[in-house]
Structure 1
C-alpha cells in the first residue's frame, strides 16, 4: 500500500495547484472589476459634484448680478451720466454670466446686437465677393484651363473651335428665355479669348523654326493668324454689342452691370485692334533677327505686350476684401467691448482702446478701394500718406488716457477729421474730367456724412441729454452712432463696388 499511495499523491498535487491558480486568477479578476467599477463611480460622483458646483456658482452669479440704476453701478461702467437705468451690475469676473447677458435687456443690448449683426453682414459680403462676385479675369481662367487640357491640338484648330462655340452662343441667344445669362457667358468667353490670342500669337516660337527652306511660309502663316483671329473676334464683339443694344436696357441705373459689360466689350475691341498694330512692328523685329541668323536670341526678343493682365486692365478684388474685413473687424471689436467691458475695470479700459482702434481700421480699410482704383498708377504715394495718418490715429487711440469719458468730444473730433481727411486727395481730382470717377464725389461725401453725423451725436450725447432717462434702453446717441457707421460703411462698399467695375473700362489717366 505504501508503494501504491506515493504515485497517487504525486498525480493529485499538480491538479490541486492548477485549481488554486484558477481560483487565484478569478479572485484577481473580480478584484480588478470591482476596483474599476469603484473608479467609475468615483468619476461619476466627481462629475456630478463639479456640475452641481458650476450650477451653484451660476445661481450665485445670477443672484449677485442684476440690471440696476446709475447710482448702483461702479464708476467705470458709467460712460454717459444721462443714461440712468439698465446697467449690468455684479457681472465681475464671470464670462458665462456676461455672455448670457447678451440675451437680457439692458442699456448695452442694442449696442451689442447692432454691431454683432453688422459684423456678420460684412463677413457675408466677403463670402459673396469670394464666391459670386464676377471678375473679368474669371473668363481667362475658364479658357486657360480648357486650353491646358487640349494642348495636343494645334493652336489654330483650338482658336477656330472656340470661335465656333462663341458663334453658337450668339445663334442661341434669340431662343433663350434668359438672355442676360447667355450674354455674360459670351462676354467671359470673349475675355478669355482676348487674353489667349495676345498670349499665344505674340509667342514667335509657336510659328518660327530654324528650317530655312520654309521660313518664308512660316512667317506668312504667322501673319495670317495674327490678322485673322483678332479680326474675327472683333467682328463677334460688334455682333454681341448690337444684340445687347436690342435686347437689354443699357441706360437704366438698375441695369448697371449690363452697361459695364457693354463698355468692357468696347475696351476689348480696341485692345484687339491695338494688338494687331503692335504685332506688325514685332514681326519686323523678329524677321530682322532671323536675317542676322540670331536664332538663339529669338526667345529673348521683347514681346510687344509683356504684362497681358495689365494690358487688358484686370483689376484686383483685394481692396474690396480690405474694405469688408475692416468693417467686420471694427464692428466685431465694438460688439466685444459693449458685451464684456463689465468684466472688470482693467478689461473696460483695454477693450475701450480696442474699440477705438477698430474705428481706425474701418476708416483705413474703407479708403483702400477708392485709393487703389482711382490712383491706379500712383496709389503707392497715397497709400503711404493714408498709412501714416492711420498709424498715428491708431497709436493715439491705444493710449490709456484717450478712452477717458471726459474726452468723448475729442475722440469724436479726431475720428471725424480723420474720416474726411483720407479723401482730400480724391476730392482734388474728382473735378478732373479725365478721371473716370467724375461725379462720384457726392456719393462718397454722402457716406462720410453719416460718419460725421454719428460722430456729432456721439460727442454731444444727443438726444439723451435733452431727456435723461428716456433713452436708456433704445434711442441713445451711441446706438444712433452705431447705425450711422453701418449705413456709411454700406454706402461706401456699394460705391467701391461700382468703382471696381468702372476701373476695368478705363486706364488711370496718369499712366
Structure 2
C-alpha cells in the first residue's frame, strides 16, 4: 500500500515537472515570436465589425451591415483615412470638396475683384476713336469743375487700343453716384465732325456710360460672397472630420455630430447672403429683413442640434426636414427678386442657378432621409454607393452651383451698382 502511494506521488511529480517545462517552453516561444504575435493581435483588435457588434451610439443605419470601425484608438482612427471601410468615401467626398472651395476662395480673392466683362468692352477702342474726346472733356470740366484730374484722353485712347484685355491700368475713380451726376448734367447727343447724321451715341448719358463707366468701376463689397465660401468650407471640413473621428469614443462622437449639424446650418444660412445682399442692396429694409431672418433661424437650428436626443436615429427624418425647411425658405427672396428685376437677364440667370442648387440640396436631403439605395439591398452598398455618400456629392454640387450664381451677382452689381 505504501509502495503504491509512493509510486503515485512519483508520477505526480513527473507530471508537474512536465507541465512546468511546457509552460516555460510556451513562454519562451511567445518571447521569441513577440513581434509576430503583436502584429497579429493588432490585426485582430482593429478589425472591422458588423452592425450588431456596435455600441449603441454608433448604430445609425441598420441597412449598412458591415465594415464598421468601433472604438479604435485615436492614432488608428486617423490612419484609417487611408484604409477601406464604410466611412472612407464619406470622409473623402467632403474632404475633396473642402479643398475645392479653398481653391475657389483663393481664386476669388486674387482674381474676381478685377474681373470686368471684357466682351462688352471689345468695341471700346472704336467708340473712343469716333468720339470727340476733347469736346467731352471740356464739357465735363464745365459741368463739374471739381472733377478729379483726368488723364489726356487722346493719349489714353491710344494706350487702351494696345492694352486690352489687361485692365490693370484703368484708374479707380469715385462711385456710381458721380456717374449719375455726369449723365444728368451733360447736354444732349454730340455729333462727330461733319457726319451730323451719325450720332456717336444716342445720348450724352450713353457717352458717359460707355466711355467713363469702365474707368470708374469700383468693386462692391465681397463679404456676403466670402461668408458663403467660409460657410461651405466649414460645413465640408466639419462633416469630413466627423465621419473620420466619431468611431473613437462616445464623447468624441457626441461632439463631432454637433459640429457636423452646425456646419450644415452654417452652409444653408450663408448661402442666403449673396442672394439677399446683392439682390436687395438698393433696398436696405428687405436686405436686413431676409438676412436677419435666416441668421436667426440658423442660430436656432444650431442650438436645437445641441440637444442630446437630436442625434438619435429615430430623429433622422426630423433632422432632414429641419434643414430642408431652412433651404425651402429661400423661395421668398428669390420670388421677390424676380418681381423687382423681372426684366434683368442677370436676375433670371442667377435664379436658374438657385433652382438647380435647391434641386441638388432637396434630392440629397430626400436620399439621406429615406436611406436609398441600401434599404433595397442591405449589405450591398456598405463600401460604396450608400445614401450618405450620394448626399455628400449632391451637397458639393449644390454649393458649387451657388458659387457660380455668386459670380454672376458680382459682375452684375460691379457693372451696374444700385
Q: TM-score, normalised by structure 2?
A: 0.70
Q: Matched residues in 2 for 1:266 and 1:62: separation?
A: 76
Alignment of 1:314-463 (within 5 A): 314-377=219-282, 378=284, 379-433=287-341, 436=344, 437-439=346-348, 440-463=350-373
Q: Which residue of 2 aligns with 1:110?
A: 89
* Aligned residues of 1:454 and 1:485 also touching (Cα < 8 A): yes
Alignment partners' CA distance in 1, 2:351 and 2:148: 49
Runs of at least 5 residues in structure 2 that lack an aligned partner in the other structure: 1-36, 117-145, 193-204
The partner residue of 1:71 within 52, 59, 63 is 52
Task: Provide, for residues 277-309 of structure 1, a one-character-per-residue CA deviation record: whole Å limited to 9, x for no partner.
Answer: xxxxxxxxxxxxxxxxxxxxxxxxxxxxxxx99
For residues 408-435 of structure 1, give each alpha carbon's deviation from its aligned partner in whole angstroms, at most 9, with x where no partner exists. 0111111011112134122233133467
Match of 2:105 in 1: 126
Gaps of 5+ in 1: 1-55, 138-154, 173-181, 203-225, 236-264, 274-307
Deviation at 1:488, TM superposition (A): 0.4
How many residues end up aligned between the 2 structures?
329
Structure 2: distance between partners of 1:466 and 1:338 = 23
Do the aligned partners of 1:364 and 1:386 also contact (CA within 8 Å) in 2? yes
Note the C-alpha offset of 1:65: 1.2
Match of 1:183 among 164, 170, 175: 164
Instruction: State the distance in 2 between where 1:350 and 1:119 align.
Output: 20
Q: Distance in 2 between matches of 1:82 and 1:184?
A: 57
User: What residue number does 2:30 align with?
Assistant: none
User: In angstroms, what is the RMSD of aligned CA positions?
Assistant: 3.6
User: 1:313 offset after TM fit, Å?
Assistant: 6.3
Higher helix proportion, which one?
A: 1
1: CA distance, partners of 2:96 / 2:298: 26
Q: Which has the larger radius of gyration?
A: 1
Corresponding position of 1:289: none
Matched residue SS, 2:81:
helix
Contact 1:367 1:423 in 2 (8 A): no
**How far apart in 2 are the matches of 1:405 and 1:197?**
54
Instruction: Pick closer, same or farther for the CA change 1:473–1:168 going to 2, 3 Å.
Output: same
1:80 pairs with 2:61: yes
SS of the residue 1:462 aligns to: coil
The aligned counterpart of 2:77 is 98
Q: Secondary structure at the match of 2:248?
A: coil
1 CA distance for matches of 2:207 and 2:256?
50
TM-score for both structures, normalised by structure 1: 0.58
